[in-house]
């Protein structure tokens, strides 16, 4: 069976979505939509897609679709997801699902009321090394996890591809933080408390471009998440996320060269988990590109009824809550109990 899909938003990251969709035999992207009509036309030409729209309502009125892939920036997500959920059975929304918890909650409720599946394009948990780390922790390779440090630091000029990142008031936590909170939930378990400090390191950037967050997990494990877009590190690790995870019996370490080490009492074993460079991509982006392909392949499994959405819109509410609560923590210099933070908003 071939699933018919369309993409809304033909900007920087959508190009990766489209290349990856083109690799999947069970999917046909039949239409593209962007409010910038030139951009929509160019994207359709480059990816050889027949139908082009500048308006999402127009697209949804004229196309019979199994799924919609929303790849716009977050201020448009709620309207687009609510519209798409009323017309097709599966909607994918890029992260951040929304800029506010109220919007995200409304989107989840709207999808559920319409009987549509809402997924969030949260691809970091689909990166090859993180699938393997999650598998090993679940298999008991380190014993009960007690501590994790997950780190994303670099000094690459992201603003060339994503100029809006320089202008947004809430930047690092809402851009990269969401991925890191999701990884902490995937690898360790659910979170009870968060405290956070933010920094603005690059004077040309409006929002915070660095943060350090401390998570208290259910059962007592601790995670430190640290992120910076303004670090001098050689060799440049971008866009790798590194990790150090300790359990009662052993530890796992992932470095920026895709090297996963398993530290045990009797020594260290290691494996290289670098994914192949896709024909349509180039280093250093291949780890991220491979995770987009893995996520989209998972979407096909969901469409086929072979898998539960990972992550669903509902699951992603907690991830968004952690990022938003981190701003409150940083502002007030307080530790936030996340269930109470959410309860006050539901």
Q: Which of residues 44-63 bind ligand NAD (CB under 6 A)?
A: 56
Q: How many CA atoms lie within 13 A of 92 on its CB side?
A: 30
In the list 68, 71, 320, 338, the residue contacting ligand NAD (rule: CB under 6 A) is 71
Place of tokens 């790798």: 240
Q: Which stretch binds ligand NAD (CB under 6 A): 34-42, 126-134, 195-203, 224-232?
A: 34-42
Nearer to ligand NAD, 44 or 71 (CB): 71
| Distance (Å, whole) CA 240 – CA 202 | 20
Q: Cβ 179 to ligand NAD, closest distance in Å?
A: 7
Sheet holding 67-70, edge to edge: 51-53, 27-33, 3-8, 67-70, 90-94, 117-121
Q: Which of residues 175-234 bind ligand NAD (CB under 6 A)?
A: 175
Q: Cβ 181 to ligand NAD, closest distance in Å?
A: 13
DSSP 142: T
Q: Cβ 38 to ligand NAD, closest distance in Å?
A: 10
| φ, ψ of residue 74 in degrees (nearest 5) | -65, -25
Bond from prior residue into 235 cis (ω within 30 degrees of 0): yes
- What is the secondary structure of 174-228 as a DSSP string? IIIIHHHHHHHHHHT--EEEEEEEEE--STT-SS--EEEEEEEETTS-EEEEEEE
In the list 26, 36, 257, 334, the residue contacting ligand NAD (rule: CB under 6 A) is 36
172 scored as a contact of ligand NAD (CB under 6 A): no
Binding mask 90-129 for ligand NAD (x = CB under 6 A): ----xx-------------------------x-x------
Nearer to ligand NAD, 14 or 221 (CB): 14
In the list 52, 172, 243, 288, the residue contacting ligand NAD (rule: CB under 6 A) is 288
């Amino acid at each position: 069976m071939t699933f018919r899909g369309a993409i809304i938003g033909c900007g920087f990251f959508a190009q990766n979505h489209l290349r990856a969709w083109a690799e999947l035999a069970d999917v046909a992207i039949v239409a593209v939509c962007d409010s910038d009509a030139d951009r929509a036309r160019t994207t359709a030409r480059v990816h050889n897609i027949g139908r082009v729209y500048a308006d999402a309502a127009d697209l949804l009125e004229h196309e019979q679709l199994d799924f919609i892939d929303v790849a716009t920036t977050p201020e448009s997500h709620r309207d687009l997801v609510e519209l798409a959920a009323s017309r097709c059975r599966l909607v994918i929304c890029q992260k951040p699902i929304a800029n506010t918890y109220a919007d995200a909650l409304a989107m989840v409720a709207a999808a559920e009321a319409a009987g549509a599946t809402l997924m969030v394009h949260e691809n970091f948990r689909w990166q090859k090394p993180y699938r393997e780390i999650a598998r090993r922790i679940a298999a008991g390779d380190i014993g009960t996890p007690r501590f994790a440090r997950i780190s994303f630091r670099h000094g690459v000029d992201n603003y060339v591809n994503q100029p809006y990142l320089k202008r947004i008031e809430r930047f690092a936590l809402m851009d990269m933080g969401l991925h890191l909170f999701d990884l902490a939930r995937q690898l360790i378990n659910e979170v009870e408390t968060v405290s956070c400090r933010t920094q603005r390191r690059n004077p040309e950037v409006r929002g915070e471009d660095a943060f350090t967050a401390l998570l208290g997990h259910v059962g007592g494990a601790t995670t430190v998440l640290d992120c910076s877009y303004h670090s001098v590190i050689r060799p440049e690790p971008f866009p790798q996320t590194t990790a150090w995870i300790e359990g009662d019996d052993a530890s796992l370490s992932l470095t920026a060269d895709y090297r996963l080490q398993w530290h045990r009492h009797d020594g260290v074993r290691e494996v290289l988990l670098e994914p192949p460079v896709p024909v349509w991509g180039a280093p250093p982006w291949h780890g991220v590109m491979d995770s987009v392909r893995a996520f989209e392949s998972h979407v096909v499994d969901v469409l086929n009824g072979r898998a539960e959405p990972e992550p669903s819109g509902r699951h992603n509410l907690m991830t968004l809550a952690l990022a938003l609560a981190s701003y409150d923590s940083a502002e007030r210099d307080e530790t936030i109990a996340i269930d109470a933070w959410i309860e006050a908003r539901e």
